[in-house]
Amino acid sequence: MSHIITLNAGSSSLKFGLFEVQGGTPVTLGTGLVDRIGGAQAHISATAADGSTIADDGPQHIPDQTAALDRVLTLLDRLYPGAKVAAVGHRVVHGGADIVAPITLTPDVVDSLEKFSPFAPLHQPHNLAGARAAMERFPNAVQIACFDTAFHRNHPWVNDTFALPREFYDKGVRRYGFHGLSYEYVTGYMAETAPLLHAGRVVIAHLGNGASMCAVVAGRSVGSTMGFSALDGLPMGTRSGQLDPGVVLYLMEQEGMDAAEIADLLYRKSGLLGLSGLSHDMRTLEAADTPQSRQAISYFTFRIRRELGALAAVLGGLDAVVFTGGIGENSRHVRERVCQNMGWIGIEIDHDANADNKPVISTMLSRVQVMVVNTDEELVIARAAAKLLGHETAQAMPA
């Protein structure tokens, strides 16, 4: 029996999964997370397919992604001795304008994807570092990349461009959209469980430390709140979201900030953290209930409501809204605030169902069905890997 490892490398984290291929279909054995990579407070956690905890190790010193991968492989070898790895699937944030599907990675292909690092500076380098490390550990396994941007590559031109001279569009300055793996999972889930809604007009809200929304028709993305970079659209844990470009000019000209300082401000010190002065974590903000935390949550939900109306206009109507991501799946307070007084657009929320985190939280009379779906980006990667795997020879887990 062959196995697939999935790797989702971030700036300070590494999500991973191990799947067994049964009849060409990946079946989850375990998934986990290495968090706070880069210091002595790193932590490794993992759960089995039934949700039970199978690892909870830390704090420990994990200096970089290569070291994190070493710890993950050691853990998986201990938990699943004898696993034969036929493929390693990677999440890669940026695939540019032309990549529309998963691809097989070679060293040359990985090098070519470096050109997109300026478009996603906090994600792309770590994604590619994880791919290079996996190639060293599994030289005979198939390495497969799945791209967050690929899901959005069929946008209409008006949803893909900025009002800049056309030469910049030709150079790649355009709206790419992100969180594509999450949106792919949700649309696939809807195709299986709610085919009539899947065929209609849906807004998916992926709300987490990174947050975006996507307008979907019949499973196809036609608009996204994220644009050229993962900074645009909704406010996030530490990212600003939509910002008047004049603010950046002001920061340069009047505050004397250089590009690195502005990037640090917009990517790491803004969003919920900047507004609250307390934390980027919604759970912390809801528990704190300070004036600043309440304001941060109010701004977050206000922007979601604003974008919901805009995306409904893009779709020409609305049949369903789906909440997903860490906040979308778990914060009944945020979902309630977003759906409050949205009867004009056809949303009527069932407060009891929302409080209980039910899969459907709208009332029977609501013209728009409101759903909560637990996303699974690792499964999307594993499915793509299984599809591209073919008849490659499996490789034993390295010691």
Question: How far apart are the C-alpha atoms of 66 and 133, rounded to whole Å?
Answer: 6
Using 50, 70 and 90 to split pLDDT, how confident is the model at 391? Answer: very low
Percent of the chain scoring above 70 in pLDDT: 97
At 185-237, the pLDDT tens digits run 999 999 999 999 999 999 999 999 899 999 999 999 999 999 999 999 999 99
Whether residue 37 is predicted with pLDDT greater than 90 in this model: the reply is no
pLDDT at 393: 45
pLDDT at 185: 97
pLDDT at 390: 66
Across the range 21-33, mean pLDDT stands at 92
Per the annotation, the verdict on 148 as an active-site residue is yes
Whether residue 295 is predicted with pLDDT greater than 80 in this model: the reply is yes
- Domains of the chain as residue ranges with CATH: 2-147 (3.30.420.40), 195-372 (3.30.420.40)
* Inter-residue contact 164 to 139 (CB < 8 Å): no
* Inter-residue contact 29 to 49 (CB < 8 Å): yes
- Two structure tokens written together for 108: 């040359």
Burial of residue 66 (CB within 10 Å: 0-12, 13-18, 19+) is middle
Using 50, 70 and 90 to split pLDDT, how confident is the model at 398? Answer: low
Whether residue 279 is predicted with pLDDT greater than 60 in this model: the reply is yes
pLDDT at 75: 92
* Inter-residue contact 206 to 321 (CB < 8 Å): no
Question: How far apart are the C-alpha atoms of 97 and 153, rounded to whole Å?
Answer: 7
Mean pLDDT of the chain: 93
Q: In the 8-state DSSP scheme, what is residue 249?
A: H
Using 50, 70 and 90 to split pLDDT, how confident is the model at 158? Answer: very high
- Two structure tokens written together for 5: 């490892």
pLDDT at 273: 96
At 238-252, the pLDDT tens digits run 999 999 999 999 999
Indicate which residue of 35, 148, 160, 319 is catalytic.
Answer: 148
Using 50, 70 and 90 to split pLDDT, how confident is the model at 12? Answer: confident
Whether residue 111 is predicted with pLDDT greater than 60 in this model: the reply is yes
The string of DSSP letters for 22-90 reads ETTEEEEEEEEEEESTTEEEEEEEEEETTS-EEEEEEEEEE-SHHHHHHHHHHHHHHHSTT-EEEEEEE
